[in-house]
Amino acid sequence: MSGKALFLDRDGVVNIEIGYLHRVEEVRFLPGIFSLCRTAMRLGYRLVIVTNQSGIARGYYTEADFETLMFWMRGELRAQGVELDAVYYCPYHPEHGVGEYKREHEDRKPGAGMLLRAQREFGVSLADSVMVGDRCSDIAAANGAGLRQAFLIAGTEEAACTGRYLAVRELAEIEGWLEQNS
Ligand SMILES: [Mg+2]
């Protein structure tokens, strides 16, 4: 296993964004996500989900609800030949958090905390790693951590993001890039 990772935001990348997703029955996987992940695995990338979960901070659902959903999601991915190496999430929000969840945190994207965690835990080389996101905060985290490449799935953000990235319409475009550049 080489030391590079494909970092995946969750909402809007792995599953279709519906806003504060927390029920299994509301999960719809993005077209092409299984194939992208299988290709990345074959090319030696670890698969790491990095997701802001302000719904936990806001009290819309609990960390246990999140864990339950992710246990199910990992099973669905496994059935498609995809094994996640890690799921990192940030349950904090500096303004809208309730109680202990109201705080700044380096993990919250655009912070790079979750990417640095993969570097510590798996020896991931950030300079060889790739991020897929649908928000400018994903791009900022990727740029801040010095990742090799960041991809923005077009559609969620209304305007362009600052920073260095490639905008794509479909996950298949990222799969093609990995094939050609790994
Ligand atoms: Mg997202």
List, for residues 152-164, the tens digit of each pLDDT value.
999 999 999 999 9
Tokens found for residue 156: 């969620």
- Average pLDDT of span 172-179: 98
Residue 20 is predicted with a pLDDT of 97
**The one catalytic residue among 11, 107, 134, 138:** 11
Residue 60 is predicted with a pLDDT of 98
Residue type, 102: K
The answer to whether 107 is a known catalytic residue is: no
Residue 85 is predicted with a pLDDT of 98
Burial 111-142 (b: 16+ CB within 10 A, else e): bbbbbbbbbeebebebebbbbbbbbbbbbbbb
Dist. CA 36 → ligand 1 center (Å): 17
Residue 2 is predicted with a pLDDT of 53
Residue 1 is predicted with a pLDDT of 45
Residue 150 has pLDDT above 70, yes or no: yes
Q: What is the DSSP string of the chain?
A: --SEEEEE-SBTTTB---SS---GGG--BPTTHHHHHHHHHHTTEEEEEEEE-HHHHTTSS-HHHHHHHHHHHHHHHHHTT---SEEEEE---TTT--GGG-S--TTSTTS-HHHHHHHHHH---GGG-EEEESSHHHHHHHHHTT-SEEEEETTSSSSPPSSS-EEESSHHHHHHHHHHH-
The answer to whether 65 is a known catalytic residue is: no
Dist. CA 13 → ligand 1 center (Å): 6
Residue 130 is predicted with a pLDDT of 98
Tokens found for residue 19: 């806003």
CA 109/CA 81 separation, integer angstroms: 28
List, for residues 45-71, the tens digit of each pLDDT value.
999 999 999 999 999 999 999 999 999
CA 72/CA 74 separation, integer angstroms: 5
Topology given in CATH for the domain delimited by 4-181 = Rossmann fold (3.40.50)
Dist. CA 9 → ligand 1 center (Å): 6
List, for residues 4-22, the tens digit of each pLDDT value.
999 999 999 999 999 999 9
List, for residues 87-143, the tens digit of each pLDDT value.
999 999 999 999 999 999 999 999 999 999 999 999 999 999 999 999 999 999 999
Q: Which residues surround ligand 1, an ion (CB under 5 A)?
A: 9, 11-12, 134
Dist. CA 107 → ligand 1 center (Å): 15
